[in-house]
Structure 1
Amino acid sequence: MNKDYDYIIAGAGCAGMSLLMRMASDSFFSSKKILVVDADDKSLNDRTWCFWEKESDIFEPIVHHVWEELDFFSTHFSTVLDIAPYQYKMIRGIDFYAYVKNTIASLPNIEWKKASVKRLLGATELLATQTTSTHQITAGIELNDGTTVFASYVFSSILLEPIQKSPKDFHFLQHFTGWEIEAAIPCFNPGRAVFMDFRVSQEHGTTFMYVLPTSATTALVEYTLFTENLLPDEAYEKAIREYIRSELKIQDYTIVHREKGVIPMTTHNFPRYQDNHIYIGIAGGEAKASSGYAFKSIQKRTAVIVKALKQGKSLASNKSFTEKKGHLYDAVLLHVLHFQKMPGDQVFADIFKGNKSADVLSFLDNESSLFTDLKIMSSVPTRIFLPAALQEMITHVKR
């Protein structure tokens, strides 16, 4: 194993492998020495990513399924969401990992090391190494086996330390358990997915179901919560089982795959960089604080990084105005949920009831115009959201 590289990618999750794929697909990086470090070999179907987009991107060849219409259900409002010009897409983890690994398999400039990252190296340690390296050394990591490796840039998606919780921030979790089931008889419409079904108990907080059919007999059924605390494992299983029985009316089925996860939904201000250590993925604050969605923002960020590297521009960039605006909107929603000023299911029902579905999706992706933002914000009670917005604006200024 070499000791120094042009780029080190620490963590081969969605962000790390998305960045790797963009580098591997661009001839500019064919002469660059790239090291990927992860404790896992990424051979399991450990998660599913869903997202909406108007145009195809780099991972279109492995999109597992596409939906043109989505159902929204709540006790306040229910409808079929016409999401054009968007499409709602699913990518399975196992397909994602295999696609990237197959792409880099024949590339001699890319090396994969199965190891855990212990820490990022400081400036003093890097300075001592500079004279013995063939590359410009400005970043480095120490692995748990005692090995140290160096590069011009380290792109890290690993949270090496717990999130430092400030009393000024809100800290929710998106936690979920999903079953991919195969029913004994056809019972699904593979052309329409259930985007959110809030017709489940809201006793723990904002809670809903996804149903993502991929054929007439198969679907991913996922129980999802936006709350500040996790539930016992058996609570997730019980909720899914009951939903399949009572709402989907399915009695005879087989569970072919299980997945679960926890994603931070927090107003914590994640640093984007520290010297030439660049933070990406959840570690870079790319999980949307109001929804937990991260795949699309990860694709945007990795594309920006690749472009900047090719142009020789600095990667030490902070959030754009659009990103800061989205962060403020997220903070307002989490404020309302934290202080229990309005139930989450009613918030989402009001937003979807009063606006075009495509406008809501662009709003959730931080891609909407100010006019659309104002229209969406006017669809929720001003007496609740305006005081929350004013308070969060003051907090934002002080951050």
Structure 2
Amino acid sequence: MQTHYDYIITGAGCAGSSLLMRMMREPFFACKRILVIDQSQKNKNDRTWCFWEKESGLFESIVFRRWTKLDFLSNDFSATLAIDPYQYKMIRGIDLYELARTASAGHSNIDWHQGTVKNIYTENNKAIVELENEKISATYVFNSIVQLNESHSSGNWDLLQHFKGYLIESKTDAFDPARATFMDFRVHQNHGTTFVYCLPVSPTTALVEYTLFTETLLPQDVYEEELRAYIASSLHLSEYEILHEEYGVIPMTSRRFPLQTGRVVHMGVAGGQVKGSSGYAFQFIQKRTEEIVGGLMNGSASFSRRSFTDQKFYFYDRVLLNVLCNKKMEGAAIFASIFRKNPPERVLRFLDNESGLMDDLRIMRSVPVSVFLPAALQELF
């Protein structure tokens, strides 16, 4: 392995693999030396990403399942949402990792290294990556490794989105593959904002995931108890096989993650591409990696610009986190009110940070002014 590269990608998860795939599509990068570093072999299906989009995206070839009808369920409001022209899509982590690795095999300018990154910094106008026994430099490092020991700064709202999922298989047909459960809030809310989603991949197989927006995590046995209770009471299944399990924790925070530190450019969770109010990240990662590739091709040295739209939706996210963290209104009631009073296409645009001012105002009118206005004024001033 050489000691200097044009670009180093630290972390080969969603953000790192997405950036690499976009680089490989452009002739500009064919003569650039690229190194990808990850501490694991990325040979396990450790993640599932769900997102919505209208057109065929970069990863259309590995979309595992897609739906155009979504069930929203709560004690206050329930409906089947026809989301056309959107499709709700699922991509499995293993498929994304294998796609990036296989595609890069045909590019002699790309190296892979399995190792633990100890530190990343800028020195003498170069980005430096410290591994266990060596240092490697680059013109830029594109980092998606989160520094978990970072303390939350004061004045921010901090929640965790944490989830436990089972891929289950029943002995008889139990699911409708044409529709997915987007959010089912009909579970108890004792821990905080809690819902289950169910994504059928066949008449007998589905991913069932128990998800919470709270300040603290639960013991593993509690997730499992709640999952089994939901499968028994809501899916009416007593006999099934667990084919696969997944568990994850995502920060939902108003804290600003740095976009760039010298020659180190951050992306993914480390770059703040997780939407603070919902936890969705996949499409925001795609926008970020597309922006990085375009900037490199145009000779830009700065990848830290925040647009007016970014600032606008950051404010909206802060307001919702303020309401949830201070327990001014239950998350189940908030989402039920929004989906009851708006067409699904408008809500999905809003959650994707792509809605205009009129759509924003209609969404705001969907929730109680007496709850959200004081929170908005607090965040504004």
TM-score scaled by structure 2? 0.98
Q: Quick one: which of 212, 234, 252 aligns to 1:265?
A: 252
Q: Is the 8 A contact 1:118 1:160 kept in 2?
A: no
Q: Distance in 2 between matches of 1:158 and 1:101?
A: 19
Mapped contact 2:126–2:140 kept (Cα < 8 A): yes
Q: Secondary structure at the match of 2:118?
A: strand
Q: Which letter does structure 1 place at the counterpart of 2:278?
A: S
* 1:39 alignment counterpart: 39
**Structure 1 unaligned blocks of 5 or more:** 128-136, 395-399
Q: Map 1:196-345; keep pairs closer than 5 Å.
A: 196-345=183-332
Q: Aligned residue for 1:132?
A: none
Uncovered stretches (5+) of structure 2, i.e. residues with no partner: none
- The residue aligned with 1:139 is 127
Work out the CA distance in 1 between the residues paired with 2:232 and 2:114. Answer: 43
Structure 2 CA distance, aligned partners of 1:189 and 1:392? 43
Shift of 1:10: 0.7
**What is the aligned partner in structure 1 of residue 49 from structure 2?**
49
Q: Could you tell me how far 1:232 is from its partner in structure 2?
A: 0.6
- Distance, in Å, in 2 between the alignment partners of 1:100 and 1:257 is 23
Asked whether 1:381 is paired with 2:381, we answer no
Task: Note if 1:151 corresponds to 2:138.
Answer: yes
Secondary structure class of the residue paired with 2:8: strand
1:3–1:148 contact (8 Å) kept in structure 2: yes
Runs of 4+ displaced beyond 4 Å: none
CA–CA distance in 1 between the matches of 2:7 and 2:334? 43
Amino acid at match of 2:129: I
Task: Assess if the C-alpha contact under 8 Å between 1:305 and 1:315 holds in 2.
Answer: no
Alpha-carbon distance between aligned partners in 2 of 1:338 and 1:45, rounded to the nearest angstrom: 32
- What per-residue deviation string (whole Å, max 9, x for no partner) do you get for residues 142-163 of structure 1? 11x2211111100001123523
Structure-1 residue corresponding to 2:94: 94
Query: How far apart are residue 326 of structure 1 and its match?
Result: 1.0
The CA distance in 1 between the partners of 2:217 and 2:356, in whole Å, is 35
Give the partner amino acid of 1:56: S
CA shift at 1:382, angstroms? 0.2
1:21-170 paired onto structure 2 within 5 Å: 21-123=21-123, 127=124, 138-143=126-131, 145-170=132-157
SS of equivalent residue, structure 2 residue 89: strand
Q: For 1:117, what is the secondary structure of its paired residue? A: coil
Maintained 8 Å contact 1:9/1:35: yes
CA distance in 2, matches of 1:283, 1:73: 32
- What TM-score do the two structures reach when normalised by structure 1? 0.94
Instruction: Verify: 1:190 aligned to 2:177, yes or no.
Output: yes
Q: Contact conserved, 2:122 with 2:263, CA < 8 A, in 1?
A: no
Instruction: Give the counterpart letter for 1:34 in structure 2.
Output: I
Percent identical pairs in the alignment equals: 54
Q: Corresponding residue for 2:338? A: 351
| Aligned equivalent of 1:7 | 7
Please give the per-residue CA displacement for 1:101-158, whole angstroms capped at 9, x wherever unaligned: 10001211000010111111342xxx2xxxxxxxxx6212111x22111111000011
Distance 2:306 2:41 in 1: 32
| C-alpha displacement of 1:224 | 0.1
Q: Does the aligned pair in 2 maintain the 1:205–1:227 contact within 8 Å?
A: yes
Distance 2:148 2:197 in 1: 31
In 1, Cα distance between equivalents of 2:176 and 2:303:
47
- The Cα RMSD (Å) is 0.9
Task: Provide the residue aligned with 2:353 in structure 1.
Answer: 366
Instruction: Tell me if structure 2 keeps the 8 A contact 1:206–1:226.
Output: yes
Secondary structure at the residue paired with 2:174? Answer: coil
Q: Which residue of 2 aligns with 1:134?
A: none
SS of equivalent residue, structure 1 residue 64: strand
1:320, distance to aligned residue in structure 2 (A): 1.2
Distance 1:273 1:301 in 2: 12
Letter in 1 for 2:332: D
Q: Which residue type is aligned with residue 62 of structure 1?
A: I
Is the CA contact 2:122–2:264 (under 8 Å) kept in the aligned structure 1? Answer: no
Counterpart AA for 2:42:
K
Code of the residue aligned with 2:163 in structure 1: it is F
For 2:186, what is the secondary structure of its paired residue? coil
User: Structure 1 stretch 109-118 or stretch 309-318: which is displaced more?
Assistant: 309-318
Report the 3-state secondary structure (helix = DSSP H, G, I; strand = E; otherwise coil) of the residue aligned with 1:251. coil
SS in 2 for 1:334: helix
Matched position secondary structure for 1:214 = strand
- SS where residue 168 of structure 1 aligns? coil
Question: After superposition, what is the alpha-carbon deviation per residue over 1:4-63, rounded to whole angstroms, capped at 9, x for unaligned?
Answer: 010000111110110011111222111100000110010000010000011111111000
